Amino acid sequence: MRGTFEIIGDSIISFYTSEDGAYSGTETLTQQDEATYYNVGVSFHRGKKMSSWTALLKAKK
C-alpha cells in the first residue's frame, strides 16, 4: 500500500492505493474535542465502492 496523510485544521485526511492500483480508499478523522474524533471513510476495488463507514472514536478515561 502507498498513501498520504494531510493535516488540515482539525482534520487528518488519508488516501491510499494498492501497489497494483486495484484497491484504493480515503479516510478522514476530525477532532471534535480533546478526547473525541469523528471518522468517515470509503474503500474501492477497481473503482467500485466496496465499503464505507462512520465511527466515533473516544479516548478511555
pLDDT for position 11:
98
Q: HSE on the CB side for 19, CA within 13 Å?
A: 0
Q: What is the pTM of this model?
A: 0.82
User: For 5-23, what is the mean pLDDT?
Assistant: 97
Instruction: Show me where the domains of the chain are located.
Output: 2-58
pLDDT in tens, 22-58: 999 999 999 999 999 999 999 999 999 999 999 999 9
Give Rg (Cα) of the chain.
13
User: For 16-26, what is the mean pLDDT?
Assistant: 97
Residue 61: pLDDT over 90: no
